[in-house]
Structure 1
């Protein structure tokens, strides 16, 4: 599918993932109890899905029993790995020695796991990898370099790196709407809605000496904006637990709040030896499991 060209320097394209990959991260799962607008960590259920010095990051549930994530090998090459909670086994969805795949997500149709692929020539574009392990497909050949994204109506709302970066949605081949500029890396579709939420770095406030960024929503059907308050100061990764409840992590602590409220409430701590700094997260309502990315000390 050929869409309107967004031309940016390829040297910018490697920034979004290469800098982060210099640090070692692991995936840790924990059972949580959710009641209304509150969650509680069930102590003793912590599980280290990965436990190695290489990069394991960017988790996303692709169904009720499987989690996809990006993992680096000893040579620094990144592939998409599928972890099965029932069997405890890992499967390579990709195994590409000359390119790297990041930020996996299940497509709306459920037939593909999408991923940001850094190709051999340095292009960073969105590819589709069939769940039946068939041949991958390039989705948008002229939208690059893509950093982050989420899905609505079988189209991807994408963070395109640049100066400034752009947040775009391709309604059609001829209409690629720029929703915003200078956004953060968290792009999360609000459940049971046509709204995609994002961190707006143009709108900030200082709290206790740290920056908090506005969380905005854009309704892709109505083409209107919504306001969801501000992030935790000093953090910017968030997810939706349901249509109304937002979750963030900072340090070893988890915080929740309703989208229409201002104050974040502490929901407990993940005290795991040799780990710190919760960043990205994924949640399965059916499994009642939260997966967090934590940095190895």
Structure 2
């Protein structure tokens, strides 16, 4: 418990994403092509407090996000066709963050209790929780395959660890990383941000060999990005969205300032490539 208390202090002092006020989640149509576009962005959370960390369901018909309910964050699910929002959890003693669809159809999410206890849980669709990784204080995670995740584990420095959720075995594979972890489309590798140098780098890693490759420098001061299904990098900075071109580096393609967004904090493109979710304040 002492370690978890220290980790809790680390979270609230060094990871402002868990206390960032008045963020909203926006959904827009997305046209990729050679010059990406977003069309008709709309605020789908429209809720006081912290609404953030959108993640699409595998069929692209809904998306998950963390939503403030009665002073705590809960897992919300927004249905695209109907526009309805379902609140999946009811955790008055804590809050859920980074909800993500699991390969088996459940939802994985970080739960931070008011006691400072922070663990990765699995939830079925009626909200019943089960601890997935009992020993690690995980801040962020991404599924690589059924039973294997890449994690951002709290500490000084923070470490990137590969975790087998069936055996709870974990292995440190990097330090000084960013919070944005993603499985790379059409690949067995995943990507992360390496913060060990003066310039932050988006890198890939093969989880079996641990071989890494440099992909791109991040936009200065930004670390949140996502992949389109076709393998294009999207990143936000300020109110603007950029895509990465091997020939011309990062190129701006959208500005959400007119929608009231001053700082983009998360981006996610739907598995069918037709929608983009943006969280920002």
TM-score by length of structure 2 reads: 0.90
- Of the three residues 220, 231, 234, the one matched with 2:221 is 234
Indicate the residue corresponding to 2:234 in structure 1: 247
- Of the three residues 52, 67, 71, the one matched with 2:67 is 71
* 1:138 correspondence with 2:131: yes
Q: 1:134 to 1:46 in 2, by over 3 A?
A: closer
- Of the three residues 9, 12, 20, the one matched with 1:12 is 9
Q: 1:65 to 1:202 in 2, by over 3 A?
A: same
* 1:294 correspondence with 2:280: yes
- Of the three residues 240, 257, 263, the one matched with 1:271 is 257
Indicate the residue corresponding to 2:80 in structure 1: 85
Please state whether the residue corresponding to 1:203 is helix, strand or coil.
Answer: coil
Please state whether the residue corresponding to 1:204 is helix, strand or coil.
Answer: coil
CA RMSD of aligned residues (A): 2.3
Please state whether the residue corresponding to 1:272 is helix, strand or coil.
Answer: helix
Q: Which runs of 5+ in 1 are unaligned?
A: 1-6, 206-212
- Residues paired across the two proteins, number: 276
Indicate the residue corresponding to 1:169 in structure 2: 162
- Of the three residues 269, 273, 280, the one matched with 2:266 is 280
* 1:52 correspondence with 2:67: no
2-structure distance, mates of 1:275, 1:174 = 40
1-structure distance, mates of 2:193, 2:273 = 28
Q: 1:40 to 1:248 in 2, by over 3 A?
A: same
Q: 1:279 to 1:127 in 2, by over 3 A?
A: same
1:134 CA displacement: 5.8
TM-score by length of structure 1 reads: 0.85
1:286 CA displacement: 2.3
Indicate the residue corresponding to 1:106 in structure 2: 101
Q: Which runs of 5+ in 2 are unaligned?
A: none
Please state whether the residue corresponding to 2:52 is helix, strand or coil.
Answer: strand
* 1:34 correspondence with 2:27: no
2-structure distance, mates of 1:280, 1:274 = 15
Indicate the residue corresponding to 1:220 in structure 2: 207
Indicate the residue corresponding to 1:158 in structure 2: 151
2-structure distance, mates of 1:113, 1:283 = 18
Q: 1:161 to 1:261 in 2, by over 3 A?
A: farther
1:74 CA displacement: 4.2
1:53 CA displacement: 2.6
Q: 1:251 to 1:134 in 2, by over 3 A?
A: closer
